[in-house]
Amino acid sequence: MDYSRQIILPQLGDSGQKRLQDSRVLVIGAGGLGCAVLPYLAAAGIGTIGIIDGDVIAASNLHRQLLYTEKQIGLSKALEAEKYLNAQFPEAKARVFNQFLDQANARQILEHFDLVIDATDEISARYLLNDTCEQLGIPWVYGSIHQFQGQVSVFNYREGPNYRDLFPTPDPAAVSCSDAGVIGTTVGLIGMLQVNEVLKIQAGFGKVLSGKILIYDLLSCSQQVFEFEKKPKKNPQVEPIAFPLLSIGEAVLPERILMDVREIGEIPQISMNNYLQVPLSKLSEMAQSLDREQEISIFCQSGKRSQQAAELLHGMGFAQIRLIKGGANELLAYLNYEKDIS
Amino acid sequence: MIKVHYFGIIAEAAACEQESISLGEIGLQSLISDLKEKHQLDSYEFQIAVNRKIIQDPSTIQLENGDEVAFLPAFSGG
């Protein structure tokens, strides 16, 4: 293929063309958007193009899915799209998956690609695609249409925001093309905008549509771009700090201070030397008066509050924190046993 | 005057793509509640943008004259 006319674009050049040649791009769905993007990806020189779709060609597809003809009705979209690419763009290496994307296959298919184009027509597939791309750390180019309007965005690009940051909750009222109606020019135009984002990302020119969603309205020929941000994670997965553990026998040595972080009145009640009751709810306030260099061994009923208390004290600068294996019941049993044998 | 834009299925439900609302200063949350009731949008999921920025917490936003509000649902076709 002779790419000379695009290579002379200063934004692309030989190096940009080489980057396109080295790219592996997966197209999810070989329907309206898929048929629009596939020839343009291949024609631009994308080296490896994946196609995944488990659907077959129907007569009602042909007005907007221009890779197929009447003779192919009933045949696999993925396999027929592959045949088209092989005949028209033999330099592009096509990898075909004649199945729908699902929880079981998503990761093992997506991990072979650098970037994914969303050409699905289902909201649930987009959440699956989003979560898999986030796990694998690969960007994806979103495209979706509603009648004469289309949306385009780039998600998970260089740790930028993703689909869930924009649309956290699936819309139960969302409708497909077969229900809402669609005309070929809408999917054609939105597909072009998607391919354009792919070329920018892979060759490295222009400004990528990350953190922004473009909405194009073909009836008024108007477009608007809306900005959005990454949502703060509600439950950041922070690894618990591993504090040294002491057995009860080690913990009750006279030089140690045992801190009980249960609330006042919780049973069993403990009575012993070097015992300090500091309920977790009052810990940050009461710990102000303690020596931060003093070794402190913490226990509670089950161990959960001990870990929380230890992390809180660690954050306040306490240097020698220990956790006691077992809770108040085990400690009391040990103390009673010691009393009995003495 | 506050201009409100509706997109996709929300425009269908509201039976208009935009409307102008004459109000003094109003909280974004109140405006959303009023328009949800007016157009019966309770069963829809959408995001809200003010002046082309998607708002994560509408309860913190006070609208002013000239602001543009958009109702943005996820599209699903392809």
Tens of pLDDT along A18-68? Answer: 999 999 999 999 999 999 999 999 999 999 999 999 999 999 999 999 999
Compute the 3-state secondary structure of chain A and give helix, strand, coil in percent, each to the nearest 5: 40, 20, 40
**Inside any domain, residue B49:** yes
**Inside any domain, residue A58:** yes
Q: How many domains does chain B have?
A: 1
* Residue pointed to by tokens 């010691």: A338
**Inside any domain, residue A275:** yes
Q: How many domains does chain A have?
A: 2
CA nearest neighbour of B54 among A277, A245, A213: A213
Asked if A19 and A86 sit in the same domain, the reply is: yes
Cβ atoms of residues A57 and A73 within 8 Å: yes
Tell me how far CA of residue A69 lies from CA of A33, A100, B50, B78, in angstroms: 17, 22, 45, 19
**Inside any domain, residue B56:** yes
Asked if A223 and A264 sit in the same domain, the reply is: no
Mutation choice for B interface testing from A37, A116, A226 by most B CBs within 10 A: A226
Cβ-count burial of A10 within 10 angstroms (0-12 exposed, 13-18 middle, 19+ buried)?
Answer: exposed
Asked if A47 and A104 sit in the same domain, the reply is: yes
Using DSSP bridges, classify how beta strands A115-118 and A140-146 pair: parallel, antiparallel or unpaired: parallel
The token duo for A270 is: 């403990």
Asked if A206 and A64 sit in the same domain, the reply is: yes
Rg (CA), chain B: 12
pLDDT digits (tens, 9 = 90+) for B12-29: 999 999 999 987 778 999
Across the interface, do B78 and A29 touch by the CB < 8 Å criterion? yes
Cβ atoms of residues A186 and A121 within 8 Å: no
- Residue A177: list chain B partners with CB under 8 A: 77-78
Asked if A146 and A106 sit in the same domain, the reply is: yes
**Inside any domain, residue A117:** yes
Cα A306 from chain centre = 32
CATH classification of the domain holding A205: 3.40.50.720
- For A76, phi then psi, to 5°, come to -65, 130
Across the interface, do A173 and B45 touch by the CB < 8 Å criterion? yes
pLDDT of residue A288: 84
**Inside any domain, residue A237:** no
Please tell me which of the candidates A171, A176, A215 has its beta carbon nearest to residue B44. Answer: A171
A119 CA: distance to closest CA in chain B (Å): 6
DSSP character string of A177-246: HHHH---HHHHHHHHHHHHHHHHHHHHT-S---BTEEEEEETTTTEEEEEE--PPPPSS--PPPP-PPEE
pLDDT digits (tens, 9 = 90+) for B39-70: 999 999 999 999 999 999 999 999 999 999 99
pLDDT of residue A136: 95
Q: What is the pTM of this model?
A: 0.75
Across the interface, do B77 and A177 touch by the CB < 8 Å criterion? yes
**Inside any domain, residue A150:** yes
The token duo for B14 is: 């509201």
Least confident among A6-10, A158-162, A192-196, A246-250: A246-250
CA–CA gap between residue A23 and residue A95 (Å, rounded): 13
Task: Count how many residues are written for chain A.
Answer: 342
Across the interface, do A143 and B78 touch by the CB < 8 Å criterion? yes
Tell me how far CA of residue A155 lies from CA of A141, A215, A272, in angstroms: 6, 15, 59
pLDDT band for position A240 (cuts 50, 70, 90): confident
Cβ atoms of residues B72 and B54 within 8 Å: yes
pLDDT of residue A235: 59
A299 CA: distance to closest CA in chain B (Å): 40
Asked if A38 and A168 sit in the same domain, the reply is: yes
CB atoms within 10 A of CB A136: 15
Across the interface, do A149 and B7 touch by the CB < 8 Å criterion? yes
Asked if A83 and A189 sit in the same domain, the reply is: yes
- For A299, phi then psi, to 5°, come to -145, 165
pLDDT of B75 above 90: yes
Asked if A117 and A265 sit in the same domain, the reply is: no
pLDDT of residue A317: 86
CA nearest neighbour of B75 among B3, B4, B10: B10
**Inside any domain, residue B76:** no
Asked if A166 and A63 sit in the same domain, the reply is: yes
Asked if A153 and A218 sit in the same domain, the reply is: yes
Across the interface, do B45 and A150 touch by the CB < 8 Å criterion? no
CATH classification of the domain holding B29: 3.10.20.30
- Residue B77: list chain A partners with CB under 8 A: 32, 121, 144-147, 175-177, 180, 182
pLDDT of A236 above 60: no
Select from A196, A227, A258 the last residue of a domain.
A227
pLDDT of residue A141: 98
- Residue B75: list chain A partners with CB under 8 A: 144-146, 149-151, 174
**Inside any domain, residue B58:** yes
CB atoms within 10 A of CB A118: 28
The order of strands in the sheet holding A245-246 is A245-246, A321-324, A296-299, A257-260, A275-277
Q: Containing domain of residue A162, as a range?
A: 4-227
Across the interface, do A227 and B9 touch by the CB < 8 Å criterion? no
Residue with the bigger pLDDT between A23 and A236: it is A23
DSSP character string of A116-178: EEE--S-HHHHHHHHHHHHHHT--EEEEEEETTEEEEEEESGGG---HHHH--S--TT---HH
Mean pLDDT estimate for chain A: 93
**Inside any domain, residue A235:** no
Write out the H or E segment, with its range, that includes residue A50: strand A48-52
Asked if A200 and A71 sit in the same domain, the reply is: yes
Residues A247-268, buried b or exposed e (16+ Cβ, 10 A)?
A: ebeebbeeebbbbbbbeeeeee
Cβ atoms of residues A64 and A32 within 8 Å: yes
